[in-house]
Amino acid sequence: MDITALVTGRWPYLFTIVLLLIGLYGMLVKQNLMKKVFGLNIFQGAIILFFIVHAYKHGATVPVLDDISGTDPARYVNPIPHGLMLTAIVVSVATTGVALALLIRIYRTFGTIDEKDLLVRLRDEDPQR
Amino acid sequence: MTPFPESDLPIAITMLLLFGAILTIAAGLVRRSFAWPVVLLTLLVVLGDAIAMLLAIVRGGPLRHTLGGWAAPIGIEYVVDALGAFVVVVIAAVSVAVTVYARAAVRAENPDQEVAFLGMMLTLLLGLTGMVLTGDLFNLYVFYEISSLAGYALLAIGDRKAPVAAFRYLILGTTGASFYLLGIGFLYVLTGSLNMADVARLLPTLHNNPALPVAIALVVAGVGLKTALFPLHGWQPDAYTYASSTTTAIIAPIMTKVSAFVLLRLLFFVFGVDLVTRLLPTGSILAWLSAAGIVVTSGMAIAQRDVKRMLAYSSVAQVGYVGLGIGLANPWALTGAVLHILNHATMKCCLFLVAGSVALHARRRTVAEYAGLGRMMPWTFASFTLAAVAMVGLPPTNGFFSKWYLLLGTIRSGSWPLVAVVGASSLLTAVYFFRLLESIYTAPATAKPEAPAGDPEAAMLVPTIALGVAVLVLGLCNSWFVTQVLQPALPAAVRLPGS
């Protein structure tokens, strides 16, 4: 398959894929737990952008009926993905909040949010494992 | 019979739990001891509602409720069939039992977090019942996240290491939820709809679309992570071990089972039997991964010294049976899988309640320390024995019947390695439970002066015994459930012959 033909005109989708991979990389590779939360946020942001990019129409306007555009569906942007992503953003904010609260608890208990140090301290406390 | 239409019964459950959770926190702010009665009352009403719903469905067919009067597929609808209603009844019944247990246990273990714990518990149940009731894919995502968020908070209540395990689960769980969201994004782009029935109607014309396997893979990975299907179970053992005993007793039996049920519904009612078994290898991948998981995690369970950790690994193994049944997708295997979702909820809840009672009351946690407890805590360990026997799968407990159907299913599928896995895993389960039971009943007890001998107080003992009895009763009533509730609710292609 010709890569250029696949990508041309789909640059925004390619961009969301790159963002998605950056997010995954952050979660998998970074040792600092705070950076894992950043990775998670980038990952979620990429998916939100995916929905929004799909809903975008060139030359269309906000989905409020007006006299100029009439009832032509091609003149309006699809509002459903935007509505869905509003909910997804709220979910993502809530998740970040819980994650930060947990990080504070971890930092207060163990004095570190670096995964390597944390694992060492966990092992010291629990010689069984 | 009811003062409102029967189709309002499903949404009433969501509303009751939502306002119950808010009211619990508010009551708890006034006075800490006010919170618990609110939770118990809410859950009893929810249980009544769920039973009324089940009866209404058995009498008059599936219930549909359209939110805000917007008809599906534009609006969001709740669709409940007999099977969904039965799952909600089980969720409500198990959580009533855990709530009775929770008052004494939480006060002994985490007194400062009592109100937060109870409020979060109702929020968790709100998310989980919502996942069962909803007929909309995006609504399912929202409920998935509600239950996950409550789950992270609950799992962080426990010992010093609980927040670390909860954080790890948060990263994995949110990634899983995001995969699911991306998956339904693909489905939405393909079909232009998010209503489950509507998507199921539109998909057959798109069977050759290359985006469809990607969508299915993303959805299965997303829901599989919450189900803790092997090899996506990494978050689970730590989270269960370090969380408080009541948290484990509510999350272990209910959350992973509800997710397994949702996986089943998505695969067979949205994607369709044809697509996931004949056209794509989703079913076989799921079956073989689950089979590998059953063997590996059963072995891990044998190697554990901490009883809660052993039970956590055995949970992953047991969910493997459900995954195996769903993956094989023949009538017998699927019957076994659904039966096992419900059976495992009761037995695992009973086992974790006992582990909690022993940790709090007798101050013992490891397999070695359990020696001789059978004579010290006779009623507690009578229930434990019943549930352990059910885990191994001996008649007449409920575990026997679900494994029996699964075994028939694997034999029918003709894959003899899988038959061997089901047989061998029962042996492995027997190894770790009978080893424990032997030391509980025959070995001399190690004296612990700071721990009182005897069963715990009635509030903690009665739910344990009730669940132990439920293991037997569900076993004896399984034919009613299979013929009356389960078979009519399955798609015709995967129904047992003659029903």
DSSP-assigned letters across all residues of A32-70:
BHHHHHHHHHHHHHHHHHHHHHHH--TT-B-SS--TTTT
Q: Which residue is associated with the tokens 């069962």?
A: B132
pLDDT at B245 over 80: yes
Whether B161 and chain A come into contact, CB under 8 Å, resolves to yes
pLDDT at A42 over 90: yes
SS3 state of residue B158: strand
**Contact pairs from chain A to chain B, CB under 8 Å:** 70
For B348-361, what is the mean pLDDT?
Answer: 86
CA A105/CA B242 separation, integer angstroms: 14
pLDDT band at B412 (very low <50, low <70, confident <90, very high): confident
Give which of B174, B238, B310, B367 to mutate to test A binding, by max A Cβ within 10 Å.
B174
More confident residue, A62 or B354: B354
What are the Cα distances from residue B298, in Å, to A82, B230, B430, B440? 45, 12, 10, 21
More confident residue, B456 or B317: B317
Q: What is the pLDDT of residue B447?
A: 66
pLDDT at A73 over 90: no
Note whether B178 contacts A118, CB cutoff 8 Å. no
**For chain B, percent of residues with pLDDT exceeding 90:** 15
More confident residue, B418 or B372: B418
- Three-class SS string for B253-307? HHHHHHHHHHHHHHHHHHHHHHHHHHHCCHHHHHHHHHHHHHHHHHHHHHHCCEH
pLDDT at A128 over 60: no
Q: pLDDT of A78-123, one tens digit each? A: 888 888 999 999 999 999 999 999 999 899 888 888 888 888 888 8
Q: What is the pLDDT of residue A72?
A: 76
Smallest Cβ–Cβ distance between B142 and the set A87, A99, A110 belongs to A87
> Mean pLDDT across chain A, nearest whole number?
85
Q: What is the pLDDT of residue B379?
A: 84
pLDDT at B390 over 90: no
More confident residue, B277 or B221: B221
CA B81/CA B491 separation, integer angstroms: 12
> Mean pLDDT across chain B, nearest whole number?
85
Q: What is the pLDDT of residue A129?
A: 46
pLDDT band at B2 (very low <50, low <70, confident <90, very high): low
CA B78/CA B92 separation, integer angstroms: 18
* DSSP-derived secondary structure letter, B472: H
Per the CB < 8 A criterion, the answer to whether B57 and B85 are in contact is yes
**For chain B, percent of residues with pLDDT exceeding 70:** 97
Q: What is the pLDDT of residue B450?
A: 62
Q: What is the pLDDT of residue B452?
A: 64
pLDDT at B268 over 80: yes
Q: What is the pLDDT of residue A5?
A: 75
**Using alpha carbons only, what angle is made at residue B151 by residues B39 and B347, rounded to the nearest 5 degrees?**
75
Whether A88 and chain B come into contact, CB under 8 Å, resolves to yes
**Chain A residue closest in CA terms to B184:** A51
pLDDT band at B363 (very low <50, low <70, confident <90, very high): confident
CA–CA min distance B495, chain A (Å): 36
Q: What is the pLDDT of residue B113?
A: 82
pLDDT at A49 over 80: yes
Q: Which residues of A touch B185 (CB under 8 A)?
A: 47, 50-51, 54
pLDDT at A127 over 60: no
DSSP assignment of B235-250 equals THHHHHHHB-HHHHHH
**Using alpha carbons only, what angle is made at residue A15 by residues A12 and A16, rounded to the nearest 5 degrees?**
90
What is the ipTM, given to two decimal places? 0.91
pLDDT band at B453 (very low <50, low <70, confident <90, very high): low
Most confident of B26-40, B431-445, B449-463: B26-40
**Chain A residue closest in CA terms to B177:** A44
CA–CA min distance A47, chain B (Å): 6
Q: pLDDT of B326-352, one tens digit each? A: 888 888 888 888 888 888 888 888 888
Q: pLDDT of B146-192, one tens digit each? A: 999 999 999 888 888 888 889 989 999 999 999 999 999 999 988 88
pLDDT at B416 over 80: yes
Q: What is the pLDDT of residue A118?
A: 83
Where in chain B are the domains?
281-499
Q: What is the pLDDT of residue A71?
A: 76
Q: What is the pLDDT of residue B481?
A: 79
For B410-423, what is the mean pLDDT?
Answer: 85
Smallest Cβ–Cβ distance between A50 and the set B145, B161, B182 belongs to B182
Whether A16 and chain B come into contact, CB under 8 Å, resolves to no
DSSP assignment of B418-442 equals HHHHHHHHHHHHHHHHHHHHHHHHT
Write down the pTM of the prediction. 0.91
pLDDT at B499 over 60: no
Return the CATH number at A104: 1.10.287.3510
The tally of domains found in chain A comes to 1
Q: pLDDT of B203-219, one tens digit each? A: 888 888 888 888 989 99
pLDDT at B301 over 50: yes
Domain assignment of residue A38, given as a range: 3-125
